[in-house]
Amino acid sequence: MKGLFIGRYELLEQLEPGVDDRAVATWRAHDSVLDRLVSLRLLDAGDPRAAAFLGSAQAAARVEDRRLVRVLDIFQTSHDGLDFVAVISEWASGRSLVELIADGPLKADEAVELITEVALAVSAGLATKVSHGRLRPTSVFVTDAGEVRVRGLAVDAALWGVLDPSVSKQAADVDGCGSLLYLLLTGTWPGPDLDNIEPAARAGAHVLPPSRVRASVPRSLDDVIARSVQSVQRPRGVMNVTDIDGFLSILGNARGQVTPIASGTSAVQRQRRIWQPVVAVLAAIVVIIGFGFVGLKLLSFGGSGSTRESVTIDTAILTESIAPTTISAPTGQIWPISTVRSYDPFGDDNGNGRPDKRKGKENDADTINVIDGNPDTGWQTARYGTADLDGKGGVGIVFDLGEPRPIQSALLSFDGTGTSAQIRVSNDIQPDPALWSSVATVEGAGEQIEIRSPRPVTGRYVLVWFTKLPADGSGYRGGLKEVTFRS
């Protein structure tokens, strides 16, 4: 299969997804632009799950946590006459939980430490209301460096649903974390049957508490399991926790009653200690350089303790709602813009009663004013009766950078105050803004703002997508005067 490309990604090896679903293909692939390994998932564009698949991947891409395997790219593509949707994720490997317990269950302290990391990863999605929804033993692995990583945030549940359809996604996350803890403590799985994993012992309809399977399991962990795993019978008066933060709370209470990990016994800690001397040396170097830099600054400015520099902190980092702010002295390479055009996929310029998709062009002739270097000229939207463009869904401008470029920040000069907009990137001009990879979002912006993503998103085309317009006389109209994209 080597030499076959999907977009810029070369397919190297087809992987087993762990689910019998021929409509979904998972590959280890190589990003030919950024020269890195990635995970690539393909789904038939006609599959009824396609919209949910893309939407969940887009939502997952906005969640930042080092424990989560990141979504890097989302796009539509065609191959052999068939249309597909593709989601590209970070490539990361290690030992799955199934492999970790191959030689027997973990000690209680090791299991608690590992599941705490899993729960913290899932909790990171709560800020943007993103649940995992389908935690299973293959969702979690420990890297060679001892890092706990969680894959499939939101996306796995969009494809295959929660393991127990009778519960919500948030409840499924609690049940998933508790079930993974049960697996590490007993070596058996309390949830629905999974291949190659021994099912948990039961008494009637209910799973036995872990201490009745392994006598060494502390009773405090029995309580955690009883309050999180749906299939375990809870004692009278014991309530189930309803979200991951609640799970972290009861797990933290139980941690104090679990014997601390002995030096060198934890698989996670053992891997981390390998890196600690390296990290310490690097930290020392950074401190030395930092002191040297401070010394030079003091010499340059006369060493006066009264000298003060004005510092602006950029809080506009890939959030659902970003407060307007003015950023001075932006950094990063500026990317040249070769061409620009209007993007109006939900418009109906030909009057046939249907959205024009790629062909709609709102005030297209004026888009050149955005890249003419004159801050007094620009492009404006049409005038609408409501701020949400009369329910149209949005309108925007597409900037062609000539070739794929990493985009991490955008400096925007809007026409008017109160614009809400999104910055999105793609290697193709997609017919729906939801198919573009999200870089950042701003709500109620002032006339000038720089918005920044915590990591670059690569693509040839950059879309500035207006979702809410400022008031303009008797209606609502927005626009863009100048734009700068940086790495």
How confident is the model over 16-33, as pLDDT tens digits? 766 778 789 999 999 999
Return the structure tokens found at 341.
Answer: 């055009």
Domain boundaries, the chain: 5-90, 95-255, 339-486
| DSSP alpha helix (H) spans, 126-266 | 155-160, 169-186, 219-226, 244-255
Q: Per CATH, which fold does 5-90 belong to?
A: Phosphorylase Kinase; domain 1 (3.30.200)
pLDDT attached to residue 299: 33
Cα 50 to chain centroid, rounded:
18
Query: Is residue 317 classed as helix, strand or coil in its secondary structure?
Result: strand
Residues near 87 by beta carbon (within 8 Å), at least 6 away in sequence: 40, 41, 53, 54, 57, 71, 73, 74, 155
The predicted model scores a pTM of 0.56
DSSP 481: E
Residue pLDDT, tens place only, 3-62: 688 889 999 999 876 677 878 999 999 999 999 999 999 999 899 999 999 999 999 999
Q: How far apart are CA 315 and CA 128, in angstroms?
A: 16
Strand 148-150: give its sheet, edge to edge.
95-96, 140-142, 148-150
pLDDT attached to residue 359: 65
Q: At what angle do helices 244-255 and 219-226 cross, to 10 degrees?
A: 170
CB atoms within 10 A of CB 238: 10
Least confident of 63-67, 130-134, 307-311, 451-455: 307-311
* pLDDT of 240 higher than 80: yes
Q: Per CATH, which fold does 95-255 belong to?
A: Transferase(Phosphotransferase); domain 1 (1.10.510)
Report the pLDDT averaged over residues 434-443: 83
Q: Per CATH, which fold does 339-486 belong to?
A: Jelly Rolls (2.60.120)
Query: Is residue 29 classed as helix, strand or coil in its secondary structure?
Result: strand
pLDDT attached to residue 377: 92
